[in-house]
Amino acid sequence: MRSDVRMRFAIKRKAVTVTADPARVNMSGAHDGDGKLCMRTVKRVDLTSWWGVVCLVYVVMFLSGTVAHGYGNDASTKGGVSASVKVGAAWVSTSDQLKPNSDNRRTNTLQDDSDSFDEAVPIVLFDVRYGVDEHTEVYCGTPLEEFEPSLMLGVSHDLGTVGTLDVAGFYAFGQEVWADPYVTGADRVETDAEAYGGKIVLEDVFETRLSLGYKVSLVDVENDVIGNTYPDLRRDGTVHEASLGYGATIDDGSSITPVITYTLADIDGASQRYRGYGLRLLFVRATSRYAVRLFAGVSRNEYDKMHPMFKKVREDTLYRAGGVFTWFDPFGFEDTSVTLGAFWGKRDANIGFFESATRGGILTVGYRF
């Protein structure tokens, strides 16, 4: 791997790699990006209670970059296998009407967001990498991309002065949405949602800190009751997002990355299609003992057609901020880490039903092999 992509530190005679390049950090989303010009597809499917918490954990950890490439021994960069695992717990509080949850199953109004509900869940994450040689790496794991848990398999190859090419496929699992989110006075029912796709990313283009890419997801809602009733609200389709990021080094160990994004959602229902624009900022400070990552962003989505339930064309503005602190080899325990993070998000909309506020936190313990 390129020396400007990772920072290596010798800790007790072991080479420990800390991903400190914000251009590698995905802060996207639909909700939220990546310091890469990653033209990617982000599916706007909302998750059910347990998975809703997990995906918010992903936001805190992946957007901050603490697990995007993890940290571990130097095996994968010199040929060989490296792996890491993280276990812990997450807590989240949200008022999002679109997230299925037993406390959110019934709503009596379509004019406002729901009452906040809280949930705490255990989490387990893993990352396995095989360094074919000093230029090529194959990886598999549960990357913290987008807002859903997924399994990803990919390969990264150093093209020299051209940059580093990353190609991968993914499958998102364990997802549910409301079959009809707009039912009032009765219990709403969940249905399965499926998403899969691929990405291609070119980082450190021509020996600069610029990154470009493309990612696409195909989305399928199994029992789309509202879409069958109102064709303009069908939720199957794809979402593409383009992003452009540039990582600027502040000093040895610190960097800041501004990211701009453009999103095009090609959804079957005309009222669900949208174009989005976003700006994010990521700060990273990494040393041999700890890593600190702070992020903040704002994005705006403008929909194509009047929403049949509200007689308005939907417009959303999303705000996000958070931070993560990771302590390496705590209390002298080699090859371990402790991560503590917090996240805040808010969605303002011209339709009250789609407004929401979310906050959450995580605590994990990790081990690298």
* Residue 1 located in a structural domain: no
Mean pLDDT, all residues of the chain? 79
Q: Could you list the residue range(s) of the whole structural domain that residue 228 is in?
A: 7-368
* Residue 2 located in a structural domain: no
Is 253 in a helix, a strand, or coil? coil
Q: Pick from 45-49, 90-94, 176-180, 214-218 the range whose average pLDDT is largest.
A: 176-180
Query: What confidence tens digit (pLDDT) does each residue in 292-316 have?
Result: 999 999 999 999 999 999 999 999 9
* pLDDT at position 139: 95
* Residue 48 located in a structural domain: yes
Number of domains present in the structure of the chain: 1
332-368 in b/e form (b: 16+ CB < 10 A) is eeebebbbbbbbebbbebebebbbbbbbbbbebebeb
* pLDDT at position 225: 96
* Residue 360 located in a structural domain: yes
Helix (H) or strand (E) holding 58: helix 49-64
Average pLDDT over residues 14-23: 36
pLDDT band at 124 (very low <50, low <70, confident <90, very high): confident
* Residue 299 located in a structural domain: yes
Q: Is the pTM for the entire model greater than 0.85?
A: no
pLDDT band at 100 (very low <50, low <70, confident <90, very high): confident
Q: What DSSP designation does 103 have?
A: G
Average pLDDT over residues 323-332: 94
pLDDT over 70 for what percent of the chain? 76
* Residue 35 located in a structural domain: yes
What CATH number is given to the structural domain containing 194? 2.40.160.40
Query: What confidence tens digit (pLDDT) does each residue in 139-176 have?
Result: 999 865 443 568 899 999 999 999 999 999 998 877 88
